Amino acid sequence: MSTERGQGMAEGKARDGQAPPNSIEAEQAVLGAILLNAEAVEEVIGVIGTDPDFNFFSETHRMIYKSMMALYADGIPIDIMTLMKEMQRRHPKHTNVSYLGELTGAVPTSANVVYYAKIVGDLALLRNVIQKCTLACQMAHQEDDPQTILTKLEKEVFELVQAGRKVKMVHVREVIDATLAQFESQMSETGIVGLATGFAQMDQMLGGFIPGDFIVIGARPSTGKTAFAVNIARNMSFSKVPVAFFSLEMRKEQIVSRMVTSITGITKDTLRTSNHDVTREKLRNATDIVKQAPFYVDGTSGYNPLEIRSALRRLVTKHKVRVAFIDYLQLLSPVTRSRNRNEDVAEISKLLKETAKDLDIAMVALGQLNRDGAGPDAGMANLRDSGAIEQDADVVMILKKSKKTTGHITAEIDKQRNGPTGSFEIDYDVSTQLMSDVGTWSYSRSSTYPARQKTFTDEDKQYKIVNLGGVSVQWDDEIQF
């Protein structure tokens, strides 16, 4: 056994002569326990997974474990005889029958195999951390652009984190309380399980935006998908839900301008023709409200999903962000560019989905439809560049110009993993970029706040006022426009 230890130390010498973290004895114990009890392989996989190159320090042990995984995959019991034949077939140079026999004597029983496997896995992570740090030093000497270094390093670290994740099965009692809380929230007066969007019909169908969900909103250009996202983000942030908005197409000033315009009704035409004193007062009042909203916006182009993930991790930690908007998905750069655009977008979609789940936030990605999506029958199959988007998404919503009413758009929920599909109509004032549930528009002449509020009319002509940003508006009379 000491011979193998010497081989392992030699093959892993660091530049300073110090061997990376390893325990040949623990590796021997893991392999020996599997040979003593073939069923122990499933416990080992649950701790360190199936990748021998990542987990084992000794090259011989890597070959042995790789052969064990091949036998396990083929449903062949693992013992000295089957392992020896597999080794001779796959790795004849590393086949040592006497050493395989010695492994069975490395441990008296397989009872502690999980403990040994955890040692092997922890040391493997430490070795790979050292490797990534060494890579970072090399890049720092070779690269001129620090952002390029950080992006590459973040990708390496992300892959390392993913490699360290193994199966974590838990008893139902550990999740039943959270499940009960979801049922109780569904029985609440609002019926909203997740985060309210300010669009009553959408909240009723989706139960709000659920943290952990990946939500895709697709549309052809100039349909109103950015306006829809900005309106949702505004509603949520005005309700004190921290929001992050990544605009890869428009400058951040344009996004904020849309927010201000949507609540003041001030357009470019208004600025040219209106009473400037009144307009300035409206703008000041509106900007005071916007400043108080927990709304974080980034107008940088060319981000990749890992850069988005890194920024969101900081925002979640520091500002408790609950929902993120990406405008739009196909403008994100792939982490590793391939020759196939569909593969690039599939990687982007997968990483956004993982980010939503890992950070427990609602991830809302806008997406372009292909040219075939310009027709009335457009659906999620028309999302541009990759079918993986519709597979990864928990919710897919397609926006179209309404067939029924001018000034409306139709939102079709084509996919909802945990609920019904269907459609609803949205009022869309293109001049002000304001969207809301279909109803009656009113405003108060006497209000000091630039009051453009939504009201809903019932059969008795009574109006329920929806407050905007916690601002109480005194309604003196109703004026239609």
Mean pLDDT of 420-425: 86
Q: What is the band of 362 on the pLDDT scale with cuts at 50, 70, 90?
A: very high
Query: What region, left, alpha or beta, does residue 399 occupy, with left being phi > 0 and alpha being psi -120 to 50 degrees?
Result: beta
Query: How far does Cα 131 stand from its chain's mean position?
Result: 27
The pLDDT of residue 365 is 93
Do β-strands 295-298 and 243-247 pair in parallel, antiparallel, or remain unpaired? parallel
User: Does the structure show a pLDDT above 60 at 193?
Assistant: yes
Q: What is the band of 470 on the pLDDT scale with cuts at 50, 70, 90?
A: very low
Q: What is the band of 394 on the pLDDT scale with cuts at 50, 70, 90?
A: very high
Mean pLDDT of 25-45: 88
In 111-138, which positions are buried (b, 16+ CB within 10 angstroms) versus exposed (e)? eebeebbebbbbbbbebbeeeeeeeeee
Q: Name residue 441's beta-bridge partners.
A: 454
- For the stretch 318-355, pLDDT in tens is 899 999 999 888 888 887 666 778 888 888 888 899 88
Q: Residues with Cβ < 8 Å from 185, sequence gap 6 or more?
A: 192, 193
Query: How far does Cα 62 stand from its chain's mean position?
Result: 34
Tell me the HSE value of 210 on the side-chain side, using a 13 A CA sphere: 22
Distance CA 167, CA 49 (A): 8
The pLDDT of residue 268 is 64
Residue 335: both structure tokens together = 């982490």
pTM (two decimals): 0.63
Q: What is the band of 232 on the pLDDT scale with cuts at 50, 70, 90?
A: very high
Query: Are the C-beta atoms of 333 and 362 separated by less than 8 Å?
Result: no
The pLDDT of residue 472 is 34
168-177, 266-275, 279-288, 364-373: range with lowest mean pLDDT: 266-275
Based on the number of CB atoms within 10 Å of its own CB, is 42 exposed (0-12), middle (13-18) or buried (19 or more)? Answer: exposed
DSSP 349-417: HHHHHHHHHHHT-EEEEEEEB-GGGGSTT--GGGBSS-THHHHH-SEEEEEEE-SS-TTEEEEEEEEET
Q: What is the band of 171 on the pLDDT scale with cuts at 50, 70, 90?
A: low
Distance CA 430, CA 95 (A): 73
Q: What is the band of 163 on the pLDDT scale with cuts at 50, 70, 90?
A: low
Q: Would you say the C-alpha torsion 293, 245, 466, 478 has a positive or negative sign?
A: positive
- For the stretch 39-48, pLDDT in tens is 888 888 878 8
DSSP 196-208: --S-HHHHHHH-S
The listed range with the strongest mean pLDDT (3-17, 51-65, 136-150, 254-268) is: 51-65
Residue 346: both structure tokens together = 């599939």
The pLDDT of residue 271 is 63
Cα separations in angstroms, 297 against 42, 126, 245, 259: 47, 37, 5, 12
Looking at the chain, the whole-number percentage of residues with pLDDT higher than 70 is 77
Nearest to 412 by CA among 443, 446, 449, 375: 375
